[in-house]
Amino acid sequence: MNSKKSKLLLSMKSVSLEIPLFTGLPRTIKSSLVDSITGGKFTRKKGSNYIRAIQNIDLKVYEGERIGLIGHNGAGKTSFLRLISGIYNVSSGELIAKKKIHPMIDKSLFISMELSAFKAIKAHYLFAKNSLIGFDNFFENIINFSGLGEYIYLPTKTFSEGMISRLTFSILTSLSHECLALDEGFATGDMDFQIKAYNRLSEFISNSGTLFLASHSNELLTKFCDRGLVFSKGSIIFDGDIYKAIEFYKKKYD
């Protein structure tokens, strides 16, 4: 991506993210647990315990770039996505996002289990559009794609995990977004749904302007991304062409 022809979308200068821990586990057990689950660094300040999930990241991203996030589980990819999309606030450093980066990360962020599916769909549309103009077409699209039928009017707390996945995936892929932060693990469901969900996801990603995609699939990364960031223990250890990023990761960890 030629920065001279594209506008700066995201700037990060010495950005770190520390997440507080509230568990009463002994430090030795806690340190082992944190390292195995998050890969982050365990720290203690003023009597409180923290995980340093993101460490001193310097990064510039320009509009239209397609960026793949590469790394083992706990390397910092999801924390990075949550940070740039505004779910987390930086602990130190400076992060400037020129446009809203829309998160497609955690199913629980978008649906209250006390709401009916219909109300969840309506709430999301209002949040995205600030009006109900065009809602009827949006709602019909979700019913048709999800295949939930009359279940759409029942409380989501009565849904199976597969039904929740169908609903949430259908909601979040029914609107286009200029900037998208996506964790591939988000799109789950039964096998029949996964087949058509893959095609829908491909179209959804292709229509987004700027993409941040965290994935373990080299096929997805090379299909949708041209730039790769390799994460390790909350830091970016490689930034470059997506094919070179994948090769770097293989050589380091295989």
CB 242 within 8 A of CB 221: yes
What confidence tens digit (pLDDT) does each residue in 183-222 have?
876 655 567 777 788 888 888 888 888 999 999 989 889 9
Q: Could you tell me the pLDDT band of residue 36, with boundaries at 50, 70 and 90?
A: very low
CB distance 21 to 35 below 8 Å? no
| Cβ proximity of 206 and 213 under 8 Å | no
Q: Give pLDDT, residue 44.
A: 65
**Residue 20, SS3?**
strand
Q: Hey, what CATH topology would domain 8-100+214-253 get?
A: Rossmann fold (3.40.50)
Supply the pLDDT for residue 127. Answer: 84
C-alpha to C-alpha distance for 226 and 224, rounded to whole angstroms: 7
Output 49 or 93, whichever has higher pLDDT.
93
* C-alpha–C-alpha distance, residues 16 and 91, integer Å: 6
Residue showing tokens 């568990």:
23
